[in-house]
Amino acid sequence: MLDPQEFIGVLERWMTVYCPDPGAIVLDLPDETRASLAVPTLIFRSAKSDRYHTRATSEGLHALIPGSQLVEPPWGDPEWIERSNAARGGTGHLFER
C-alpha cells in the first residue's frame, strides 16, 4: 500500500518541475519576458466555465503585455466543454467550426 504522505510528496516534487513559479501568469515564460513583447497581441478572454484557463489568466496576461487587446471570444462560454465532450464521445470534433 502506498503511503499517502509519500504520494503527496511525489506530486509536490512533480509540481515544482511543471510549475516552477506558482505566481506566474503563464507557465514557462517569465512575466518580465512577456512584459517586453513589442508585437501586436490579441488575447481572447477566457470563458467563465474554463477551470484550466481562467479569466484571471487571460486578464493578467493582457495586463502584462503592453498594447495588447483583450476581446471576447467569438464562441459561446460552454462551447469548449461541449466540443471536448463530443470529441471524447466520438460524436464531434474539437475544432469542427
Q: What is the pLDDT of residues 80-92, one digit of tens each?
A: 888 888 999 999 8
Task: Say if CB 41 and CB 69 are below 8 A apart.
Answer: yes
CA distance 79 to 93: 12
For residue 57, report the phi and psi dihedrals to the nearest 5 degrees.
Answer: -70, -50
- pLDDT of the residue at 59: 93
Q: What is the pLDDT of residues 40-68, one digit of tens each?
A: 999 999 988 887 788 988 998 899 888 99
Sequence spans of domains, the chain = 24-89
- pLDDT of the residue at 20: 67
Q: What is the pLDDT of residues 8-47, one digit of tens each?
A: 999 888 877 777 677 777 777 777 787 788 899 999 999 8
Cell of 3: 503511503
On the 0-12 / 13-18 / 19+ scale of CB atoms within 10 A, 29 is middle
